[in-house]
């Protein structure tokens, strides 16, 4: 039996574990997760806007895994790449033949001085606090800014600006709210080919925007956010996307670059320097592509196929072509879709009900089809 260890019980890790268990009979598959709870992160923004109950976002990881997959609820401390062991907080040393790292990204809001009072929707707790703040907000200046690049789900900040417009319109106070979007880039949207479309949407919704604004610090008493470029923007309610980094254990194990991301081959998803033994997927990698669930989903299918092939003594031939597909909710039951890969940049279709319903459908079917690798 070949020992396959998967670190992280998010969408990517769950798909890999299930695929290997399904396809490779001689694999002993173990998934390690800190909490044993699987969280549907795209739902955070809907919790913030009081459209979803947070209970809809969490399920027991065990219920999503095939019977052959062993689940260990424990925390990874270090990976010994020479000895091929994963050391856990409980003291367990877990041996592996093949290792898949799918531990995502961690939030580091403390890196922006003064941002303790800022809101975000990148965790259940953060989304609930923002929900309560929005419900009490009487009007004024709402500022959305980014605390560091890269961050999970690049479209999410712009999507939140559109949902703010919808939320305050439904409350009947949109004319009392000034929405100001601050982009760290030279455009309003990370994907260059999509940015003109989003800019038109912002213009139609009267969402103000400032580009080349990299948040440096916040003065919570004056209610001002300052940029590295020397600008300052006042606010009454601040939404700040927290800085993101890779998992601490990966850095402590010598597997990462300075930012905590794992150097990964963008086609095979093998960790550089550890080919044939360690793979990384999703937010944990340094691949210059969206850190999003859709990315992890497609990457996981490639890694699952290749690891299963290697267990069976076959050559790994699956390749990741950079495929990503996602939907963005623009409010008022309208949305856009983005489909792209390494060779083809996204060309967004017009804003429509069709793409909004596409996102609704994905949200509803996620638990049934995605973690269990049925799609």
Residue 375 — very low, low, confident or very high, per pLDDT cuts 50/70/90?
low
DSSP structure class, residue 360: H
Residue 348 — very low, low, confident or very high, per pLDDT cuts 50/70/90?
confident
**Three-state SS at 129:** helix
The predicted-structure confidence for 197-215, as pLDDT tens digits, reads as follows 999 999 999 999 999 999 9
Cα dihedral 48, 50, 52, 53 in deg (nearest 10): 90
Residue 374 has pLDDT above 90, yes or no: no
- Domains in the chain, CATH or no CATH each: 2-104+247-319 (3.50.50.60), 109-243 (3.50.50.60)
DSSP structure class, residue 353: H
What are the distances in angstroms from CA 310 to CA 71, 227, 318, 351?
Answer: 22, 49, 11, 44
| Contact between 20 and 304 (Cβ < 8 Å) | yes
The predicted-structure confidence for 146-189, as pLDDT tens digits, reads as follows 999 999 999 999 999 999 999 999 999 999 999 999 999 999 99
- What average pLDDT does the segment 60-86 reach? 98
By percentage, how much of the chain surpasses pLDDT 90?
97
The predicted-structure confidence for 1-58, as pLDDT tens digits, reads as follows 999 999 999 999 999 999 999 999 999 999 999 999 999 999 999 999 999 999 999 9
The C-alpha atoms of residue 90 and residue 32 are separated, in whole angstroms, by 12
Structure pTM?
A: 0.96
Q: What is the reported pLDDT for 267?
A: 98
Q: What is the reported pLDDT for 258?
A: 86
Residues 6+ apart with CB under 8 A from 74: 32, 33, 34, 88, 89, 90, 92
- What average pLDDT does the segment 98-124 reach? 96
Q: What is the reported pLDDT for 367?
A: 95
- Whole-number CA gyration radius for the chain: 21
């Amino acid at each position: 039996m070949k020992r396959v260890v998967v670190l992280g019980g998010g969408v990517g890790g769950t798909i890999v574990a299930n695929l290997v268990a399904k396809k490779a009979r001689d694999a002993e598959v173990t998934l390690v997760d800190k909490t044993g709870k699987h969280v549907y992160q795209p739902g955070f923004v809907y919790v913030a806007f009081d459209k979803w109950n947070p209970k809809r976002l969490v399920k027991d990881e065990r219920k999503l895994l095939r019977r052959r997959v062993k689940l260990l609820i424990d925390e990874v401390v270090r990976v010994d790449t020479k000895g091929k062991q994963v050391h856990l907080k409980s003291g367990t040393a877990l041996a592996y033949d093949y290792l898949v790292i799918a531990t995502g990204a961690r939030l580091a809001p403390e890196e922006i001085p003064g941002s303790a009072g800022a809101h975000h929707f990148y965790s259940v707790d953060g989304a609930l606090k923002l929900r309560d703040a929005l419900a009490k907000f009487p009007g004024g200046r709402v500022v959305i800014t980014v605390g560091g690049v890269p961050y999970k789900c690049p479209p999410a900040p712009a999507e939140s600006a559109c949902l703010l417009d919808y939320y305050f319109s439904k409350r009947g106070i949109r004319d009392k709210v000034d929405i100001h979007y601050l982009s760290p880039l030279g455009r309003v949207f990370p994907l260059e080919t999509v940015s003109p479309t989003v800019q038109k949407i912002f213009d139609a919704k009267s969402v103000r925007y400032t580009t080349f604004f990299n948040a440096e610090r916040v003065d919570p008493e004056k209610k001002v956010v300052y940029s590295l470029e020397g600008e300052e923007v006042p606010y009454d309610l601040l939404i700040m996307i927290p800085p993101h980094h890779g998992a601490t254990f990966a850095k402590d194990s010598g597997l990462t670059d300075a930012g905590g991301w794992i150097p990964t081959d963008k086609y095979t998803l093998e960790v550089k320097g550890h080919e044939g033994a360690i793979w990384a997927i999703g937010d944990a990698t340094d691949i210059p592509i969206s850190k999003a669930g859709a990315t992890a989903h497609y990457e996981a299918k490639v890694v699952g196929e290749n690891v299963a092939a290697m267990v069976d003594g076959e050559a790994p031939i699956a390749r990741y072509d950079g495929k990503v597909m996602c939907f963005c909710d623009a409010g008022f039951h309208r949305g856009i879709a983005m489909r792209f890969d390494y060779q083809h940049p996204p060309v967004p279709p017009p804003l429509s009900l069709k793409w909004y319903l596409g996102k609704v459908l994905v949200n509803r079917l996620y638990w049934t089809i995605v973690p269990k690798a049925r799609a």
